[in-house]
A and B are shown apart, each in its own frame.
Chain A
């Protein structure tokens, strides 16, 4: 019996509260991070990812309190991303109780931060978040974007993933910008291309609208884990229902 494929609910956090919205439009308060984390934990989530979307730098440290509170009550792995600029930021998040820290824009602007953080804290703690968008109509080549998807980098997503592995990344969180918010499913060719190109685990993200999409992400996209936000936040499905659907499709899960 092999290693289980993971289901990871993703929570957007701003100013210390969980928010939900569609494409960052109409964000509304969705509640207390600890309560929401516990709910997903009870449903059988394998890990949780927190994305800090706090706009004001004055309130950046609030995420540390959120992580500290969640990590004191929820005993599954926690990943935190958003606003990581230097290795010291990684240290502060880990000390607050995060198990892994995801790095996105900074990895592109200053890849040595990835190397430094992996050396200091171990590859297991370093997740590289890649936001990728197709650059041709065939959906066979993808470019990396930064700054929340606003800036093109000219980097090829598959080559970038390989390079980040060489720099010491322990995992890749791969988001398809073409699919994010569309609810039509993961970009499977992208997911498959990246996952097959690297030896480290790849988390598929962006586009999940139903449970079959999660199944497809694993079976066709070769993802090691699947991340979703809205299908869980708006109560369409529980994590348990998602796992049952994956198991019914022959995927090994932790139930």
Chain B
């Protein structure tokens, strides 16, 4: 089995590659690739992303990988991470970026007016650090991960899905979709590759996933 991690020039793919290699335990070939043919031949695809959304979208288009990524999202077990997950929506408030439109909905910034904590304190943006993950719908990728476990986030924008695809929510301070899923696609805002045991469990579940829910 081959798992392709899509490298379109955005961000640090060292950790996600190392984490996937660790959980694959030699049972799957993990390939970091910028080659559309390798993505096409992979059994599963990981689609990461870091940095500003407009740059990510531009790099994806210039890389020649966009068509293969869209195709993979239609037919293979597909894991979007961080901006890679955000790109699956129709558009983002960050630079008013049109994105891939695999999911209905937008990506919005945490609105300043709402960034007030329970004791009236100002909440910082980016939302950075370990926050709780609440299960909204069971999903095979969440097997073995307790409700309320913490994952590592670092983001200023979050998904606002316009269809019923949220499987995991977090709260900052209001509930927002932290992971969404439909058919063969799972997309997560936070960083499983930086989220210790729980994050590695999610990646391991992805290695073992047949793409069905």
The answer to whether A binds B is yes
Q: Are A3 and B127 in contact (CB under 8 A)?
A: yes
Mark the stretch among A13-21, A70-78, A136-144 that contacts chain B: A70-78
* Number of chain B residues whose Cβ lies closer than 8 Å to a Cβ of chain A: 42
**Contact pattern, B 134-160, Cβ under 8 Å of A = 1, otherwise 0:** 000000000000001010111110000
CA distance A1 to B148 in the complex (A): 10
Q: Are B125 and A200 in contact (CB under 8 A)?
A: yes
Mark the stretch among A28-36, A89-97, A155-163, A209-217 that contacts chain B: A89-97
Q: Are B50 and A125 in contact (CB under 8 A)?
A: yes
Q: Are A196 and B122 in contact (CB under 8 A)?
A: yes
Q: Is A119 an interface residue (CB 8 A)?
A: yes
Q: Are A75 and B155 in contact (CB under 8 A)?
A: no
B interface secondary structure, majority: mixed
A75's contact among B128, B154, B199, by CB below 8 Å, is which?
A: B199
Q: Assuming the A-B contacts A77-B152, A196-B122, A199-B125, are A72 and B18 also in contact, with contact meaning beta carbons closer than 8 angstroms in the complex?
A: yes
Q: Are A98 and B12 in contact (CB under 8 A)?
A: yes
Residues of A contacting B50 in the complex (Cβ-Cβ under 8 angstroms)? 121-122, 124-125
Q: Is A46 an interface residue (CB 8 A)?
A: yes
Q: Is A254 an interface residue (CB 8 A)?
A: yes
CA distance A77 to B191 in the complex (A): 9
Which chain A residues numbered 64 to 104 have a C-beta less than 8 Å away from chain B?
68, 71-73, 75-77, 94-99
Q: Is A224 an interface residue (CB 8 A)?
A: yes
Q: Is B64 an interface residue (CB 8 A)?
A: no
Q: Is A53 an interface residue (CB 8 A)?
A: no
Q: Is B100 an interface residue (CB 8 A)?
A: no
Q: Is A238 an interface residue (CB 8 A)?
A: no
Q: Are A99 and B194 in contact (CB under 8 A)?
A: yes
Smallest CB–CB gap between A252 and chain B, Å? 9
Q: Are A94 and B124 in contact (CB under 8 A)?
A: no
B154's contact among A124, A196, A198, by CB below 8 Å, is which?
A: A124
Which residue, of B12, B132, B148, has the highest number of chain A Cβ atoms within 10 A? B12
Considering only CB atoms, which chain B residue lies closest to A198 in the complex?
Answer: B124
Q: Are A199 and B124 in contact (CB under 8 A)?
A: yes
CA distance A4 to B195 in the complex (A): 13
**Contact pattern, B 194-212, Cβ under 8 Å of A = 1, otherwise 0:** 1110011000000000000
CA distance A99 to B150 in the complex (A): 18
CA distance A1 to B174 in the complex (A): 10
Considering only CB atoms, which chain B residue lies closest to A122 in the complex?
Answer: B51
Smallest CB–CB gap between A98 and chain B, Å? 7
A-B interface, 10 closest residue pairs, ranked by CB to CB distance from nearest: A122-B51, A97-B14, A254-B130, A124-B154, A4-B130, A72-B18, A94-B12, A254-B150, A201-B124, A3-B131
